[in-house]
Structure 1
């Protein structure tokens, strides 16, 4: 929806962070992409207006307000006061939109990072659309948790209140395409080396190995955005992380670890794994939602989202059979170079129903 700064270790250069992350959210074209996501918009709209008891007469904080749409809905649902925090100049557009909807007496747009601003009072509700690709890319959730710990009243609620991360083995033709792209890049490099030596007398072959590693990371190890069809899943999807937004800490999400098992449901090529998330608006134990709402980014025949799914491709693929058991060890950590990006280590043992051995999967991926 918008943006709000945080530092993973307290030493992030805010100027660099702004250039690498926040600037994107300062453009209306990017806000429009999210505002046109009907699955996303309907979920938040229904969550607010089907649970007005959480907003009527209450104080609301919108973390990373972006265009201001969630702040406006909160006010329309009866909030007494809404603080809409936005780290970019999109705050100016949000302010205009609030005024155009005659809500300037209720909604106060504040430009600044969540960690740097001060509110005059505690809040009853924190609402935010903080989710990145595969839920945690961008690390904006850190700012939401900071806001919760600093500004949320005891008994307050989070919108959304819960989140889950899922993974499933998939079939896909993308792996073959990416391998062809990689082979083409290396063939082009080989021609470049020969031509440079022939025309200019310089042997560039000393750089072949680093170029190969660079291209391998780009084509074969970097996860892809895709809108998967449900029939591309070849096993029962499994949850790798569950989050209670009222209780979770930054340390709880810094590393995502899971040891899980799933069974192959049909004979197929195991081409990789698809990852997605869902979030839920349930209120809290003390103040439950009257109508629970789910926002899911799972593969769907018709209803895709701008998040899509993250696809982790295998090279080469593995042939699997119905009944084969997959034992998966999954680890996702933050990149040491940029805390908003992720690195994934995925190890998978395939236990054949027939007992015939299959080479295990050991791969490292980058979510960039």
Structure 2
């Protein structure tokens, strides 16, 4: 509706969920049915009322940016419907990693299993760490600078490039025990007259996406000035492409995560 109010000749909305029926009612309630056409279905399967569009707008971002693989659908729409020189909004994004030293959080999540009403259940630690947590981390507990691990130009990237392996180097800013790595993303609308961007960094205002926490089963002791060098791999799960399989290797350790 914002696009229609801004002067678009026609707006086409596509959504597979039943909420689109409420969206249709809202469009009619605001007298915009002559400008807005809503279609229920998968973008890859529906037929649009026109062969090309000038602008594609989508809030496709998932937790850790790529969770749920919604960007794949945007790239399909780009390749099949966007005119040459058309706009994608947003048009650029990047993934980043920092180290976290939050012993209280680590204790609450993992040390609990060391003594459960007098019984040791440490085997449960692995079951807990394999699932990344989505939460707002305490920025005061961040113990390194940030490292960009993935840069995506949505105007040109291919679906195959969204699975990636990237080296990273984190400069440690103070002594402490690294208890987790934290992932976040930045979003840019770089082709507008007035450039707009936002970040899901722990140092910015919190958003719906929060941050993604990759707990370490055992903390990693570091000192100020040390460089934490590692490698992160992120791939769609073969059985469930909406899920992510993530591996972080650092200082001879390997931690595997499944985001579902």
TM-score by length of 1: 0.67
Deviation string, structure 1 residues 109-131 (Cα, Å, up to 9, x no partner): 11111011111321000000000
Match of 1:276 in 2: 184
Match of 1:260 in 2: 168
Unpaired runs of at least 5, structure 2: none
Deviation string, structure 1 residues 291-315 (Cα, Å, up to 9, x no partner): 01002111136x2111110001112
Match of 1:325 in 2: 227
Q: Flag the 1:217–1:341 CA change in 2: closer, same or farther, 3 A.
A: farther
Deviation string, structure 1 residues 224-246 (Cα, Å, up to 9, x no partner): 11101322221110110011111
Asked whether 1:366 is paired with 2:224, we answer: no
Quote how far apart the aligned CAs of 1:183 are: 3.9
Quote how far apart the aligned CAs of 1:184 are: 5.6
* More relative contact order, 1 or 2 (CA 8 Å, 6+ apart): 2
SS in 2 for 1:270: strand
Quote how far apart the aligned CAs of 1:187 are: 7.2
Query: Would the aligned equivalents of 1:182 and 1:220 in 2 still touch at CA under 8 Å?
Result: no
Q: In 2, Cα distance between the equivalents of 1:182 and 1:189?
A: 6
Larger radius of gyration: 1
Q: Flag the 1:145–1:184 CA change in 2: closer, same or farther, 3 A.
A: farther
Query: Would the aligned equivalents of 1:84 and 1:108 in 2 still touch at CA under 8 Å?
Result: yes
Match of 2:147 in 1: 238
Query: Would the aligned equivalents of 1:280 and 1:295 in 2 still touch at CA under 8 Å?
Result: yes
Deviation string, structure 1 residues 170-226 (Cα, Å, up to 9, x no partner): 112222212134446797798xxxxxxxxxxxxxxxxxxxxx5xx444312211111
Query: Would the aligned equivalents of 1:221 and 1:364 in 2 still touch at CA under 8 Å?
Result: yes
Quote how far apart the aligned CAs of 1:328 are: 1.3
Q: In 2, Cα distance between the equivalents of 1:157 and 1:334?
A: 27
Match of 1:76 in 2: 5
Q: Flag the 1:346–1:258 CA change in 2: closer, same or farther, 3 A.
A: same
Quote how far apart the aligned CAs of 1:281 are: 0.5
Match of 2:68 in 1: 138
Residue 58 (structure 2) aligned to one of 102, 116, 128: 128
Match of 2:200 in 1: 297
Match of 1:203 in 2: none
Query: Would the aligned equivalents of 1:228 and 1:300 in 2 still touch at CA under 8 Å?
Result: no
Residue 222 (structure 1) aligned to one of 119, 131, 137: 131
SS in 2 for 1:280: strand
- Bigger helix share: 1
Q: Flag the 1:95–1:329 CA change in 2: closer, same or farther, 3 A.
A: same
Query: Would the aligned equivalents of 1:182 and 1:219 in 2 still touch at CA under 8 Å?
Result: no
Quote how far apart the aligned CAs of 1:101 are: 1.9
Query: Would the aligned equivalents of 2:245 and 2:259 in 1 still touch at CA under 8 Å?
Result: yes
Unpaired runs of at least 5, structure 1: 1-71, 191-211, 284-288, 350-359
Superposed counterparts of 1:141-290, under 5 Å? 141-172=71-102, 173-183=104-114, 212=123, 215-253=124-162, 255-283=163-191, 289-290=192-193
- Equivalent pairs counted in the alignment come to 258
Match of 1:97 in 2: 26
SS in 2 for 1:313: strand
Residue 241 (structure 2) aligned to one of 320, 332, 339: 339
Q: In 1, Cα distance between the equivalents of 2:93 and 2:255?
A: 26
Q: In 2, Cα distance between the equivalents of 1:74 and 1:170?
A: 41
Quote how far apart the aligned CAs of 1:361 are: 2.7
RMSD: 2.0
- Bigger strand share: 2
SS in 2 for 1:291: coil
